[in-house]
Amino acid sequence: MEPTRRQLEEALRYLRVPVGGREEMLELARAGFAELGSCAKPRKVWGRFPLTVGERGIALGDGSVICVSRDLSRLFKNCRSCIVMAVTLGPEVDRRTQLLGRGSMSRALCLDACASVRADSLCDEIEDEVEETLREGEYLTLRFSPGYGDVPMEFTGDLLRLVDAERRIGLTMTRKGMMIPIKSVTALIGISSVPEQRRRSCDDCSFAACQYRRKGGFCHDERI
């Protein structure tokens, strides 16, 4: 599939390409998406779960899956249920990236960036599917993944178990907290009883050491 202009620009953002080197890198990004098309096997899974929100965190399902996070507590304050999603591009993307890295690091980095964009787009597809199932008076919050704000990466394992990701899409987590295949994403979206602000803002994030903040930018900035 031919990448959209926005997907190309997102890949350049992942690569932190300055304005001056943009045109040359656009061709590399196009090549990266072409490479991705020959090795990616996209798979996705999601489910809707009951949600209990406290001052210091949330509990999912029957209450046995708990995450201590003030960020999620604030984000889901108007929610009584949420969507848990997991997506992966498959193991061949990881192997192809490693193989390219032995001969051309720039091609490997481009493939890695394009794969990140494609994984995000799978999450977008799930959001579209979820919106089709919403009842009157239900609204989506922002999407939030472990590793952002104060949500620990370890919470990923709980999310994978909730949606039975290993059996359904072949996605697992190592003891050291790495997802296998690597090019995979887990995330949550709240189902709110009121319309929510869905534009990302640093005001919603407690990650003070953010590299984008230090440089005066934003992780959600679409500019290159």
**Percentage of residues of the chain with pLDDT beyond 90:** 75
Query: By mean pLDDT, which of 61-65, 74-78, 200-204, 213-217 is the weakest?
Result: 213-217
Q: What is the pLDDT of residues 125-137, one digit of tens each?
A: 999 999 999 999 9
Q: What is the pLDDT of residues 143-193, one digit of tens each?
A: 999 999 999 999 999 999 999 999 999 999 998 889 999 999 999 999 999
Q: How far is CA 44 from CA 2, 6, 55, 187, in A?
A: 21, 22, 31, 12
Mean of pLDDT values over 199-210: 53
Q: Does a structural domain hold residue 141?
A: yes
What is the domain-level CATH number for residue 167? 3.40.109.40
Q: Does a structural domain hold residue 205?
A: no
Q: Does a structural domain hold residue 168?
A: yes
What count of residues does the chain have? 224
Q: Does a structural domain hold residue 211?
A: no
Would you call 191 helix, strand, or coil by DSSP? strand
Q: What pLDDT does 222 receive?
A: 40
Q: Does a structural domain hold residue 212?
A: no
Q: What pLDDT does 223 receive?
A: 36
Q: What pLDDT does 206 receive?
A: 47
Q: Say which residue, 72 or 25, is predicted with more confidence.
A: 72
Q: What does R_g of the chain's alpha carbons equal in angstroms?
A: 18
Q: What is the pLDDT of residues 66-119, one digit of tens each?
A: 999 999 999 999 999 999 999 999 999 999 999 999 988 989 999 999 999 999
Q: What pLDDT does 18 receive?
A: 79
Q: What pLDDT does 213 receive?
A: 47
Q: What is the total count of domains within the chain?
A: 1
Task: Examine the pLDDT at 201 and tell me if it is beyond 60.
Answer: no
Domain with 17 in it: 5-196
Q: Does a structural domain hold residue 207?
A: no
Q: Does a structural domain hold residue 215?
A: no
This prediction has a pTM of: 0.87
Closest CA to 53 of 202, 155, 199, 191: 191
Q: Does a structural domain hold residue 122?
A: yes
Q: How far is CA 97 from CA 32, 35, 39, 124, 183, in A?
A: 10, 10, 10, 24, 10
Half-sphere exposure of 48 (CA within 13 A, CB side): 16
Residue 162, both tokens: 């909730």
Q: What pLDDT does 197 receive?
A: 81
